[in-house]
Amino acid sequence: MAASLPTRVTGSVETRAAATARVASVRGLTRVFGDRTVIDGLDIDIERGEFVALLGRSGSGKSTLLRALAGLDRDATGNLTVDGTVAVAFQEPRLLPWKRVIDNVALGLDRPRAEARQALEEVGLGGLATAWPLTLSGGEAQRASLARALVREPDLLLLDEPFSALDALTRITMHRLVLDLWTRHGRKEEDAAGRGGLSVLLVTHDVDEALRLADRVLVLGEGRIAYETRVDAPRPRSAGDLIGLRTDLLEQLGVNEEDR
Amino acid sequence: MSSPALDLGQAHRAARRRARVPRAPGLPRLISPIVLVLLWQAAGSSGLLPEHLIAAPVKIARTAVDLTEAGTLPDAIIVSLQRVAVGFLIGAVAGVALALAAGLSRLGENAIDPPMQMLRALPFYGLIPLFILWFGIGETPKIALVALGVAFPLYLNTYAGIRAVDGRLVEAGRVLRLGRTALIRHVILPAALPQALVGLRQSLGIAWLALIVAEQVNADAGLGWMINDAREFMRTDVIVVGLVVYSVLGLLTDALVRLIERRALVWRQAFQPA
Ligand SMILES: Nc1ncnc2c1ncn2[C@@H]1O[C@H](COP(=O)(O)OP(=O)(O)O)[C@@H](O)[C@H]1O
Ligand SMILES: [Mg+2]
């Protein structure tokens, strides 16, 4: 089920074999605001089951790219194919304040609420199912937002700096949670459908976060993927494993030796 | 915040505490009104304040009882309440329907909002002569005036509420694959509700004012008629009873809206600090 998103596609949409290895494939994506070209002929492929981190300085177009992938940007041009369903967790949790946590998670599902409850259990919020969103802490709200995305069993999970507003301790917990969920949902999908499972594209401006979590780290610069590296160290990773990569990435982001 | 039940408990307690704040000082705040009423009574009893200007409190209270027993007051209240209820219903349906049409579609916005924004500037009590020409002097012009007074605040607030919906929540709804109807039902309307309820409260206040004005003009029944009739006989006690009843009815409907607000916006009260 190749879902070509409501993007103005200039090229032709490829006909694809079923259960391809790629969950998303982007060619020549371009997005112009006024006379500024924020995304400039960008190419990305995301493999099934892959965890990709997208780094970039503030204003480099990370959210713009993500919105295009989520099918939220009708004015992006280029070739964009997503094979499967997409779910998004934004930087702000964007829970509907007038719906209890569980109803937020179940929103738009025609399946029973039992699944929403289970998703909440998964992110450790089982006890807060009937709480109002405005009473949640930042980390709790972000976990609820994650549950809301995951309950849809997406093929591709887009995360737009979901941890940047959290305190350092909560962020560490959230990292572990996301890796956990990714592993679990990956395996389940693989057994059932015989394909790679959940892919994650995590947008972040935090190099260490990217290195700790991702299989592959991309750096967005000048509207394209300016740099790309694999991270092969086994998880859980410690900062020590990654010093070389960290230096490379910081360099790519234009952070000088003296700044560090 | 370990269990949801506890959260709710806190929220309810917070709501109760807030509601009590203005009344909490209690007795000290009651002293000056009581003293004023006593002074008023004294001035009346001593003849300092003649009854053709204003009756004394005791006399007014006695008149209220008499009017109630004779059935005059209940009848008048029922007639006036009916006028407000019918006028309110018509105005509310019209105001909300127009706001939905204008708020939810570009075409509706262009067609409805400009004339509504122009009409709101109209001093609508000034329409009474026209209404009398159009509708005669029966029930219709009174109900029409109430309906008109109700429609505008409801329209303006509901429309503004819909327009002010957080685009990020709408976007979240889209990502969750909500269709247009579901988006309106789950995101847009609930988001607009607080502002719409502000409109409801304003419109009920205006409904009573419009009724009072309309009933002064020409009435053969209702509270306004009772007051006008009393003026002919210089019955200041009856006039004051009428005024008190108007304000009590206004306070009651206001309390009703506050109750609705508290019910409908629990999610917001949970947030306000205790
Ligand atoms: N709707 C918009 N209209 C005009 N400019 C925009 C809009 N959205 C984003 N931009 C611009 O595009 C650039 C990239 O934005 P964004 O993708 O949000 O950056 P990032 O997420 O990497 O911080 C910024 O300069 C921003 O000002
Ligand atoms: Mg961003």
Each domain of chain B, given as residue ranges in start order, spans 56-269
Q: What is the pTM of this model?
A: 0.81
State which residue of chain B sits closest to A133, comparing Cα positions. B267
* Cβ of A63 less than 6 Å from ligand 1: yes
pLDDT band at B274; cut points 50, 70, 90:
very low
Chain B within 8 Å of A1 (Cβ-Cβ)?
no
Residue A123 CA to residue A141 CA, distance in Å, equals 11
- Pick A94's closest partner by Cβ from B7, B172, B178: B172
Q: What is the pLDDT of residues B180-224, one digit of tens each?
A: 999 999 999 999 999 999 999 999 999 999 998 888 877 788 999
Q: Is the dihedral of CA A244, A250, A256, A258 positive or negative?
A: negative
A158-193 as b/e: b if 16+ CB within 10 A: bbbbbbeebeeebbeebbebbbebbeebbeebeeee
Chain A residue numbers with beta carbons less than 8 Å from the beta carbon of B173 are: 107-108
Q: What is the model's pLDDT at position B23?
A: 54
What residue segments make up the domains of chain A, in order of their start? Answer: 95-153
Give the residue, by CA position, lying nearest to ligand 1 atom 14.
A61
Range of weakest confidence among A107-116, A218-227, B100-109: A107-116
Contacts for B15 with CB less than 8 Å, ≥ 6 apart: B262, B269
| Beta carbons of B207 and B91 less than 8 angstroms apart | yes
Mean pLDDT over B227-244 rounds to: 92
Q: What is the model's pLDDT at position A12?
A: 34
Judge whether residue B62 has pLDDT over 50.
Answer: yes
Candidates 3.40.50.10490, 1.10.3720.10, 1.20.140.10, 3.40.50.300; CATH matching B56-269: 1.10.3720.10
Contacts for A81 with CB less than 8 Å, ≥ 6 apart: A2, A4, A13, A14, A16, A24, A25, A26
Tell me the two tokens of residue A196. Answer: 């790679």
pLDDT band at A211; cut points 50, 70, 90:
very high
Chain A residue numbers with beta carbons less than 8 Å from the beta carbon of B191 are: 98
* Cβ of A38 less than 6 Å from ligand 1: yes
Residues of A (137-166) whose Cβ lies below 8 Å from B = 137, 148, 152
* Ligand 1 center–CA A90 separation, angstroms: 15
Give the residue, by CA position, lying nearest to ligand 1 atom 4.
A33
* Ligand 1 center–CA A108 separation, angstroms: 29
State whether B270 and A99 contact (CB < 8 Å): no
Range of weakest confidence among A134-148, A154-168, A175-189: A175-189
Q: What is the pLDDT of residues A57-112, one digit of tens each?
A: 999 999 999 999 999 999 999 999 999 999 999 999 999 999 999 999 999 888 77
